[in-house]
Amino acid sequence: MALKHVGIYNNIPAEYMPKLPKRGTIVTYRFLDYYNDPLSETDLPVFKAKLMIPCFSRFFDKTNSEWIEIGLVSGVDAFGNAIPTMIRRVWVEPQANAGYLNLTIGNAADDELFQYLELASFNLANPNRDENVHPILERVDFEAEAREARNDLRNKMEAIKIAGNIAKEDLPRFSALLGYEFEGLTEEEVRFNIESFAHEESEAFMDRIKDKHFDIKSFISLALDKDVVYIDEDDRKLKWSDSKGDIMRLVDIDQDEVIDAYAAWASKEKNGKDVHQELLSLLSKTKAKVKA
């Protein structure tokens, strides 16, 4: 059984009609509305005990720039209104099924419900949904989720490996770039901070490490931490701390923006490259290092 075109409902263009998966396939949807019980001994989410799937919805036909009305309905009256007795009402029990709804393709009722749910605006996975409609479920692709989880795990492992291989003498500039203090901390404490960041924010960590200007950014971050240079907010300039001499004008005085601007300048302009060499020379005299 497939969605039936009746009245204004289910007049679905062929290119939008969901194709039924192979007979016997289990299609799973995850319910999105739940809460956490503060008195529960577990961290498991609590879903609604019973829920009626909305009988009507719609999706956007991008080809014809119009909304298509859909519904679990098999008959309308002379005025085009859905006949109450011919509206299919589907009650589900999210809590009893751990927050999932499973449909078996090949079962006529499930086939109809599958096509309806795929097109409904309350399905978060529907790219043609009405975003003003509150989503109550989404189709689950366990293989895709497992693949994504494995990719995330591989990224974490790579980030942690890189963090664990940082040379001791480089720990101060890594810490400075990531926004951590290192003065007065032992090597183990500094490594813990960096490796924790790599584990918890692996994507952000890898973005910074793979940045083509990473070395320049890490050294200017360390120079700011060690007060070799400073940001003069009134003059909107980056300056040498000892002589108060100008290094460069600043469009934005936010530290991250300053670091980005300095890296771009020091990597391209001859004057910028010369300044950076001077900065490295001054940094070497600060003997920035972690506590023994």
Residue 159 has pLDDT above 70, yes or no: yes
The chain-wide mean pLDDT, for the chain, equals 93
Instruction: Give the whole-angstrom CA distance, residue 244 versus residue 253.
Output: 17
The predicted pLDDT at position 44 comes to 86
Are residues 289 and 169 in contact, defined by beta-carbon separation less than 8 angstroms? yes
Query: Contact 115/27 with Cβ under 8 angstroms?
Result: no
* pLDDT (mean) for 166-189: 92
Residue 290's pLDDT is 59
The string of pLDDT tens digits covering residues 247-272 is: 999 999 999 999 999 999 999 999 99
Instruction: Specify the pLDDT at position 184.
Output: 85
Please name the residues in contact with 171: beta carbons below 8 A apart, sequence gap of 6 or more.
182, 187, 190, 191, 194, 289, 290
pLDDT mean over 97-113: 95
Alpha-carbon distance of 210 to 24, in angstroms, equals 46
For residue 291, pLDDT beyond 70: no
Average pLDDT over residues 199-204: 94
Which pLDDT band, with edges at 50, 70 and 90, does 60 fall under? Answer: very high
Helix residue ranges, H only, 6-125 = 108-119
> How far apart are the C-alpha atoms of 132 and 135, rounded to whole Å?
9
Strands of the sheet containing 246-249, edge to edge, are 229-232, 237-240, 246-249
In this predicted structure, the answer to whether residue 286 has a pLDDT above a threshold of 90 is no
The pLDDT of residue 1 is: 64
pLDDT at residue 86 is higher than 90: yes
At residue 39 the predicted structure's pLDDT band, cuts being 50, 70 and 90, is confident
Is residue 87 within 8 A of residue 72, CB to CB? The reply is: yes
Across 181-242, where does the E strand assignment appear? Answer: 229-232, 237-240
Task: For residues 231-255, give the mean pLDDT.
Answer: 94
What does the pLDDT read at residue 94? 95
Instruction: Give the tokens for residue 237.
Output: 């300039």
* Mean pLDDT confidence for 22-37: 93
Residue 41 has pLDDT above 90, yes or no: no
Per DSSP bridges, beta strands 91-92 and 51-52 are antiparallel
pLDDT for 9-23, tens place per residue?
999 999 999 999 999
Calculate what percentage of the chain has a pLDDT beyond 70.
98
Q: What average pLDDT does range 45-69 have in this prediction?
A: 96
Helix (H, G, I), strand (E, B) or coil at 200: helix
- The pLDDT of residue 141: 87
Q: Is 0.95 surpassed by the pTM of this model?
A: no
Q: In the prediction, which pLDDT does 292 show?
A: 55
Query: In angstroms, rounded to a whole number, what is the distance separating the alpha carbons of residues 176 and 174?
Result: 5
Assess whether pLDDT exceeds 60 at residue 275.
Answer: yes
* Closest to 71 in 3D by CA, of 111, 110, 119: 119
| In the chain, % of residues over pLDDT 90 | 86
